[in-house]
Amino acid sequence: MTTIKDAGAPVALPLDTILAGDCIEAMQGLPAASVDLIFADPPYNLQLKGELHRPDNSRVDAVDDDWDRFDSLKTYDAFTRAWLTEARRVLKPDGAIWVIGSYHNVFRLGAALQDLGYWLLNDVVWRKSNPMPNFRGKRFTNAHETLIWASRSEGAKYTFNYEALKALNEGVQMRSDWTIPICTGHERLKDDNGDKAHPTQKPEALLHRVLVGTTKPGDVVLDPFFGTGTTGAVAKMLGRSWIGIERDAGYRKVAEARISRVRKFDREALEVSTSKRAEPRVAFGVLVERGLLRPGEELWSLSGRHKAKVRADGTLIADDVKGSIHQVGAHLEGAPSCNGWTYWHFRREGQIVPIDYFRQQIRAEMQAG
Amino acid sequence: MTTIKDAGAPVALPLDTILAGDCIEAMQGLPAASVDLIFADPPYNLQLKGELHRPDNSRVDAVDDDWDRFDSLKTYDAFTRAWLTEARRVLKPDGAIWVIGSYHNVFRLGAALQDLGYWLLNDVVWRKSNPMPNFRGKRFTNAHETLIWASRSEGAKYTFNYEALKALNEGVQMRSDWTIPICTGHERLKDDNGDKAHPTQKPEALLHRVLVGTTKPGDVVLDPFFGTGTTGAVAKMLGRSWIGIERDAGYRKVAEARISRVRKFDREALEVSTSKRAEPRVAFGVLVERGLLRPGEELWSLSGRHKAKVRADGTLIADDVKGSIHQVGAHLEGAPSCNGWTYWHFRREGQIVPIDYFRQQIRAEMQAG
DNA sequence: ACGATTGCTGAATCGGCTG
DNA sequence: ACAGCCGATTCAGCAATCG
């Protein structure tokens, strides 16, 4: 019996699995707009070894060392644009991508992203605390790599867990330079001979920051150059779904074993700080409705210089202006905008308290109820 | 009488002057293969949309100058490739170029350099110890800019003063990430109204490291986007010849006045280390790089009996000895060893202060960064 | 005089929901 | 689609003022 798949039927995503094969072909088998985030660590070298494809997906013939640099760069660009095009198709409209590279290839990557319609959000520098020295003393120690973070399109509502990242960074907002050691020691995967299993294994700390910062629990993360599966391992720990693509059977095997050993963190551990923006919205009028503030009661700015009267409909009236708590505050301060919740205060027993106190009380009730 | 210039005759270089006009046309007037180093800080093409306010409602004074506006990426690329082509013609065969940019434009710059036949040597990250925060909490703090260092061609014998850079960096080889504060305070040039004279003035410490590291005394340094002349000012201090190109008459005037105030450092101060030596790990060179101590400035022992002169690479020279602050101190005291940080003092307004004062200052900054 | 406090500013691609 | 409006959001360094 043959199962015929409807052309329009939703295709199930191969979640939490490693797809074997070329990344462009494998991505072609995935449905459009199905992935929340892509993390890609493509080949850095310019002397491509034949795994490359032209824009029409025909295979590039075997390596020819006599190729001049122009042809080589051109070939690399064609490969880059081919897989980035497929990646963009697979991304959800509000999805985003991270790519990582060194100065050999990162300018090709960045230019291609811009040309294909991605919107650059930041470039991020991975500062290696323990880089390999420059042995010949002919250049600067190559002590960093560059990541580019881009949304699928300009205006996309990409995920950015601002408060979580700020918490990771001792309470100040996360900068575009991250100091992280290279992957060594126990974390570095070894093959049966005790040699490193993969030449460019990325540290889990790097993926941790990427995934905590720019995905939500349950999001689908795709890594088209999976290697030994750092992306999958960290995604599993963090309660994200993942899809890996890898051509090399040896790497797939190592990745499979590695990820099976990983245990997901507790749900509590995965809860990250959220911003006020994510909390439910409360109208000022509700405070009046519930009798927390009485119509006719006076509110004061912190300095006590300005005051306004509460009206029954949840607007304020001051000497020469009426409107929302925000509008009246902005007008009195001559400011372009004003957060009325923190600007206005009420008095109780000699104390002066911001009205946000009541909002928090209401939010707590909403949570409980 | 008319002087007829032979087509093949050497054309005199307009050394230590600012050329007025468009950088492409001005470079066309320079002879081929005449310049040792180019430092270029081209427009970044920021493409800002609306206004931005800080949380305290103050307005951010953004870069909205006409010279930073381009119709499209295509227009920007055409401009970039035009000036980089002319720059390459003007460079000596063993010459090199530095370009600086942010994620908005640096991928266009890097890709263009590669396409035009330059050979990338390093990308270098300028980590700002005091960047402007991301006020809306929507992205990572944009805390760095990227410099690309490239030779005119593959195989060129570019200048790289390995030992001088190592001396500047506590005796370990210089990495590809440089932590330097943005240009503020007295170094920041102001116009007659007290406003910043140029929106994107670069810190002298950045140019100090570039020129000490990749030029020789007497080299010709060209800056096709001269602005207020940081490149010229530092080149003059360091005994390099310079040529600036600038379209804006206001900037030229500021640069002219600035550079005329600069004094060249002593010749002795400009001799940098060329031989290998086992140096103790001292950060003294950073004090020089950041302008806390001037090359040529005299340091004194507490008693005032001994003195020595500061050199640009962070070594000292006294009557009959040169070396690190520790070595010179030990020699003058006839002692087996000496802590140069507490031995040497500088004078400010009649006060005599140990140089360790500045080290503590730098350490505080590094902590912050 | 000197430490503490307040104020200003820097190459920035810096909303999101509702009607 | 678009307008209107709510309402969230900052770090380091320097200078001027205050006590």
Residue of B216, B16, B12, B39 lying closest to B124 (CA atoms): B39
- Check if the beta carbon of residue B209 is closer than 8 Å to that of residue B178: yes
Tokens of A334: 């001559």
Q: Do A176 and B142 touch (CB under 8 A)?
A: yes
- Put the strands of the sheet holding A298-301 in their side by side order: A322-323, A316-317, A307-310, A298-301, A344-348, A351-354
The integer distance in angstroms from the CA atom of A160 to the C1' atom of C13 is 17
With CA of A170 and C1' of each nucleotide, the nearest comes out as D11
Mutation test of the interface with chain B: which of A176, A212, A301, choosing the one with the most B Cβ atoms within 10 A? Answer: A176
Q: Which of chain B's residues have a Cβ under 8 Å away from the Cβ of A124?
A: 140
Tokens of A239: 């309660």
pLDDT at A61: 44
Tell me how far apart the alpha carbons of residues B132 and B141 are, in angstroms, rounded to a whole number: 7
pLDDT at B282: 38
pLDDT at B364: 59
B-chain residue closest to A70, CA distance: B115
Q: Does B111 touch chain A (CB under 8 A)?
A: yes
Q: Do B127 and A177 touch (CB under 8 A)?
A: yes
B50 touches strand D (CB under 7 A): no
Q: List chain B pLDDT tens, one digit each, 369 residues.
A: 344 444 445 568 999 999 999 999 999 999 999 999 999 999 999 999 999 999 999 999 999 999 999 999 999 999 999 999 999 999 999 999 999 999 999 999 999 999 999 999 999 999 999 999 999 999 999 999 999 999 999 999 999 999 999 998 988 999 999 999 999 999 999 998 899 999 999 999 999 999 999 999 999 999 999 999 999 999 999 999 999 999 999 999 999 999 999 988 877 777 655 433 332 233 577 787 767 888 788 999 998 999 999 887 777 889 888 888 888 998 999 887 788 888 999 988 778 888 988 887 766 555 433
Q: Do B111 and A106 touch (CB under 8 A)?
A: no
- Put the strands of the sheet holding B17-20 in their side by side order: B17-20, B241-246, B220-223, B35-40, B91-101, B144-151, B119-128, B177-180
Q: How many CB atoms lie within 10 A of CB B226?
A: 26
Q: Do B141 and A338 touch (CB under 8 A)?
A: no
The integer distance in angstroms from the CA atom of B256 to the C1' atom of C10 is 24
A195: DSSP letter: S
CB pairs under 8 A between A and B: 129
HSE at residue A139, side-chain half, CA atoms within 13 A, is: 20
Q: Does A106 touch chain B (CB under 8 A)?
A: yes
B365 touches strand D (CB under 7 A): yes
Tell me how far apart the alpha carbons of residues B293 and B270 are, in angstroms, rounded to a whole number: 14
Identity (one letter) of the amino acid at A342? T
- Range 262-281, chain A: CB under 7 Å to any strand D atom: 275-277, 281
SS3 assignment for chain B? CCCCCCCCCCCCCCCCEEEECCHHHHHHCCCCCCEEEEEECCCCCCCCCCCCECCCCCECCCCCCHHHCCCCHHHHHHHHHHHHHHHHHHEEEEEEEEEEECCCCHHHHHHHHHHCCCEEEEEEEEEECCCCCCCCCCCCECCEEEEEEEECCCCCCCCCCHHHHHHHCCCCCCECEEEECCCCHHHCCECCCCCECCCCCCCHHHHHHHHHHHCCCCCEEEECCCCCCHHHHHHHHCCCEEEEEECCHHHHHHHHHHHHHCCCCCHHHHCCCCCCCCCCCCCHHHHHHCCCCCCCCEEEECCCCCEEEECCCCCEEECCEEECHHHHHHHHHCCCCCCHHHHEEEEECCEEEECHHHHHHHHHHHHHC
Q: What is the pLDDT of residues B315-351, one digit of tens each?
A: 788 988 888 888 899 899 988 778 888 899 998 877 8
Buried residues in B8-44 as b, exposed as e (16+ CB within 10 A)? eeeeebeeeebbeeebbebbeebeeebbbbbbbbbbb
Q: Please give the radius of gyration of chain A, using alpha carbons only, rounded to the nearest integer.
A: 27
With CA of B131 and C1' of each nucleotide, the nearest comes out as C10
HSE at residue B282, side-chain half, CA atoms within 13 A, is: 25
Q: Do B107 and A103 touch (CB under 8 A)?
A: no
Q: Does B103 touch chain A (CB under 8 A)?
A: yes
pLDDT at A274: 84
Tell me how far apart the alpha carbons of residues B117 and A74 are, in angstroms, rounded to a whole number: 13
**How near does any CA of chain B get to the CA of A228, in Å?**
28
Output the CA angle A105-A111-A113, nearest 5 degrees.
100
Q: Does B46 touch chain A (CB under 8 A)?
A: no
Tell me how far apart the alpha carbons of residues B289 and B162 are, in angstroms, rounded to a whole number: 16
A157 touches strand C (CB under 7 A): yes
Weakly modelled stretches of chain A, pLDDT under 50: 1-9, 49, 60-70
B63 touches strand C (CB under 7 A): yes
With CA of B368 and C1' of each nucleotide, the nearest comes out as D12
Tell me how far apart the alpha carbons of residues A102 and A90 are, in angstroms, rounded to a whole number: 25
Measured CA to CA in angstroms, residue B181 lies from A150, B49, B55, B255, B333 at distances of 27, 27, 23, 21, 36
Output the CA angle B27-B33-B35, nearest 5 degrees.
70
Q: Which of chain A's residues have a Cβ under 8 Å away from the Cβ of B170?
A: none
Q: What is the pLDDT of residues A122-168, one digit of tens each?
A: 999 999 988 998 888 999 999 999 999 999 999 999 999 999 999 88
What residue is closest to D6 (Cα–C1')? A326
Tokens of A235: 């995604």
| CA end-to-end distance (rounded Å), chain B | 64
Q: Does A336 touch chain B (CB under 8 A)?
A: yes
The integer distance in angstroms from the CA atom of B291 to the C1' atom of C10 is 20
Residues 52-91 of B with CB under 8 A from A: 53, 57, 59, 73
Q: How many CB atoms lie within 10 A of CB B289?
A: 27
